Amino acid sequence: MTSDRASAAETTRFDFLVIGGGSGGLAGARRAAELGANTAVIESHKLGGTCVNVGCVPKKVMWNAAVHAEYLHDHSDYGFAIENSHFSWETLKAKRDAYVSHLNRIYRNNLDKAKIETIQGHARFTDDSEPTVEVNGRKLTAPHILIATGGQPSVLSDDEVPGASLGITSDGFFELETLPKRSVIVGAGYIAVEMAGILATLGSKTSLVIRQTGVLRNFDAFISANCTKELQNNGIDLWKNSQVKSVSKTDKGLEVTIITKDPEKKNDEKISIIEEVECLLWAIGRQPNISGLNIGSMGLDTDERGHIIVDEFQNTSRPGIYAVGDVCGKALLTPVAIAAGRKLAHRLFEGKKDSKLDYSSIPTVVFSHPPIGTVGLTEEEAIKSHGKENVKIYKTSFTPMYHAITSRKSPCIMKLVCVGKEEKVVGLHMQGLGCDEMLQGFAVAIKMGATKADFDNTVAIHPTSSEEFVTMR
């Protein structure tokens, strides 16, 4: 036997090889297996990826706890006399971790039931002429290889910010054993907003450090401004036009040095120190998980941040290699990765050559306090793509009925972005009590091309906040 034949004999062949056992990879693998493909999933950590282990799932548990804390403030207004309520972070963490472990087991059982081989370890592309990966010394190949390795929190080095490594990221948040008395969150995106909201609402004195004047700058300006205001209303200490200059450790915790610039005066800088910080959390973005994968040997095109570039069908620049989810850097949401993975499986193994995910009008929720729901174009995006004269805006702001008798007040704001003579609804944005559960139905309507007249022709459900969307004038 020649050496070429020997190496070929040592390579295990599959129909579909998935690198990454997170939302997108598992969805694609299971659907491919259902369609008859001999499939394997390679995972280096825990099944379920970011979402199940250090993302949406444990985050929502923490947010639910924070909502309980908010409602405690309203009990007396609703006639309940409840004294001495005590919150135990330790109890919550134990239950949350047990739930996540339960989900890990379910994912494993689902793979076993689908007869998908699960391979534990780090995948690395080899230099073989046929696309091949190596895991723990074992070579694997397939005519179709899916990269679904996800992303990870971006971190600053100690060279960039002295002492930066003394902080944690959202991953580390889920390892906290106790509620920090004093927290500093750095960042203005949805992860920063959610983490700051959870910590502050559960009783940690929280500061949020942002580089500009508002949070969620990629969202509609109406939402960005309101969310910024609500953070402050919830007792979060907001440091605008600020950045962390350095971090140092003392006997009483961390000392975080902040530099604040006056946007009006170019050279006017103020230095401040936040003392006795127990939790410094960097939420400054995410980056693709590609280290050690050796994608360079495959000649895959990536953008300047390392995201794998794909076309509308999730094809990379190398035939037979595909990518879905956060590693592609577009619409970093669990259901997006799941949908893209499944659509790809139908295209590859069911012959549905036009099967692809439509990335327009993807609904998303930010679990802030109160929650934000948004789908479609912002007002700014609509004006840019359709022209100001063709865009009509409807918006409202009101106090939800729940707060009619509470001393704690939190407004609900809503906005419709419509275009053209027929006033097609191309954007819907809201923040307020219940907006998280309100959005899905409206997203269906917008995906179907609903107009303002369709909204107006729908009878309102009274008394609810959602009825405002069908009664706007």
Residue 6 is predicted with a pLDDT of: 42
Q: Average per-residue pLDDT in the chain?
A: 96
**What contacts 24+ positions apart, CB below 8 Å, involve 166-170?**
166/247, 166/248, 166/249, 166/254, 166/280, 167/247, 167/254, 167/280, 167/281, 167/282, 168/279, 168/280, 168/281, 168/282, 169/281, 169/282, 169/283, 170/54, 170/55, 170/195, 170/281, 170/283
Taking the model in full, what pTM does it have? 0.95
The confidence score (pLDDT) of residue 41 equals 98
Q: What is the pLDDT of residue 5?
A: 43
Tell me, yes or no, if 75 is annotated catalytic: no
C-alpha 65/C-alpha 55 separation (Å) is 16
Given the residues 73, 102, 307, 462, select the one marked as catalytic.
Answer: 462
Residue 143: cis peptide before it, omega within 30 degrees of 0: no
Instruction: List, run by run, the mean pLDDT of 10-residue segments along the chain (473 residues).
Output: 48 97 97 98 96 97 97 95 90 98 96 97 94 96 98 97 98 98 98 98 98 97 98 97 98 97 86 98 97 92 96 97 97 96 98 96 98 98 98 98 96 98 98 98 98 98 97 95
Q: Beta 372-376 vs 132-135: how paired, if at all?
A: unpaired
Q: Residue 424 in 3-state DSSP?
A: strand
How distant, in Å, are the alpha carbons of 57, 147, 267, 338, 341 from that of 324?
A: 20, 7, 45, 9, 6
pLDDT at 367: 98
pLDDT at residue number 10:
85
